[in-house]
């Protein structure tokens, strides 16, 4: 049996469709269920829904043999796991963004709100820019609007959320997409079964 950690939410639903299109079938899974795990016994695949940020935790500790995580989460957490395949789903960017009339004054500490403090710290450290990083858990676009921060570092997919809150992209930080990751020892012992899943969902 291969255990697969799926990220709850938009990306997870896209990956679930990829699995269904690849011929996996989960009789326990339907729109109304609140069940967090489900199996395709014919293909020896057990899936479970976890918070996107937690996928690498399950994989690193071996509770999941494999997991689907956004590159943003892998960059932020830097887990000790294998990143095996770019699934090319959930494509977006991480970018810095601010109010249209914001002018950066390099002599002042830049206040940055983000869900990704490590990515943000590294990005500005490379530029030698001093920052005060404010870690939030969502609705980041409010921060510059209300004056909590000068800019944000956040996921931008369609750009709609920025536009509707009168913000714009200042700089791209990284390109993001979904990655299939594996626990290192599981990949050693179950490598063939894992490769078969990758082959099916990427063909």
Task: Give helix 10-21 / helix 184-202 axis angle, nearest 10°.
Answer: 70
Can residue 44 be called a binding residue for ligand PRP (CB under 6 A)?
A: no
* Closest distance to ligand PRP from the beta carbon of 177 (Å): 15
Can residue 157 be called a binding residue for ligand PRP (CB under 6 A)?
A: yes
Please choose, from the candidates 122, 109, 123, 9, the residue with its C-alpha nearest in 3D space to the C-alpha of residue 68.
9
* Closest distance to ligand PRP from the beta carbon of 155 (Å): 4
Instruction: State which of residues 30, 107, 126, 160 lies at the interface with ligand PRP (CB under 6 A).
Output: 160
Cα-based distances in Å from 29 to 45, 46, 65, 96: 13, 12, 21, 38
Instruction: Report the site for ligand PRP in 80-109 (rule: CB under 6 A).
Output: none
Binding residues for ligand PRP, how many (CB under 6 A)?
12
Q: What does the alpha-carbon distance between residue 203 and residue 199 come to, in Å, rounded to a whole number?
A: 6
Can residue 155 be called a binding residue for ligand PRP (CB under 6 A)?
A: yes
Can residue 175 be called a binding residue for ligand PRP (CB under 6 A)?
A: no
* Closest distance to ligand PRP from the beta carbon of 33 (Å): 22
Q: Which stretch binds ligand PRP (CB under 6 A): 42-50, 99-107, 121-129, 132-140?
A: 132-140
Side-chain half-sphere of 12: how many Cα atoms within 13 Å? 18
2 Cβ contact partners less than 8 Å away, ≥ 6 residues apart = 44, 45, 46, 65, 66, 190, 193, 194, 197
Question: Is 39 or 115 the residue whose CB approaches ligand PRP more closely?
Answer: 115
Q: Annotate 49-80 with DSSP letters as a single string.
A: EE-GGGHHHHHHTTSSSEEEEEHHHHHHH--S
Can residue 146 be called a binding residue for ligand PRP (CB under 6 A)?
A: no
Structure tokens at 30: 């339907």
Can residue 185 be called a binding residue for ligand PRP (CB under 6 A)?
A: no
* Closest distance to ligand PRP from the beta carbon of 200 (Å): 28
* Closest distance to ligand PRP from the beta carbon of 163 (Å): 8
User: Footprint of ligand PRP on this chain (CB under 6 A)?
Assistant: 138-141, 154-161
């Amino acid at each position: 049996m291969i255990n697969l950690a799926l990220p709850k939410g938009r990306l997870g639903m896209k990956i679930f469709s990829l699995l269904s299109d690849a011929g996996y079938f989960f009789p326990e899974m339907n729109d109304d269920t609140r069940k967090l795990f489900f199996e395709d016994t014919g293909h020896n695949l057990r899936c479970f829904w976890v918070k996107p940020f937690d996928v690498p935790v399950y994989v690193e500790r071996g509770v999941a043999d494999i997991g689907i995580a956004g590159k943003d989460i892998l960059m932020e957490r830097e887990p000790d796991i294998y990143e095996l395949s770019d699934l090319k789903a959930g494509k977006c960017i991480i970018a810095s963004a601010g109010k249209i009339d914001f002018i950066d004054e390099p002599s002042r500490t830049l206040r940055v709100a983000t869900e990704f403090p490590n990515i943000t710290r590294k990005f500005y450290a490379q530029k030698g820019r001093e920052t005060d990083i404010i870690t939030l858990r969502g609705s980041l676009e409010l921060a510059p609007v209300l004056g909590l921060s000068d800019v944000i570092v956040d996921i931008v997919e369609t750009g709609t959320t920025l536009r509707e809150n009168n913000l714009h992209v200042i700089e791209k930080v990284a390109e993001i997409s979904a990655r299939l990751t594996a626990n290192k020892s599981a990949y050693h012992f179950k490598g063939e079964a894992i490769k078969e899943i990758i082959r099916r969902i990427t063909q």
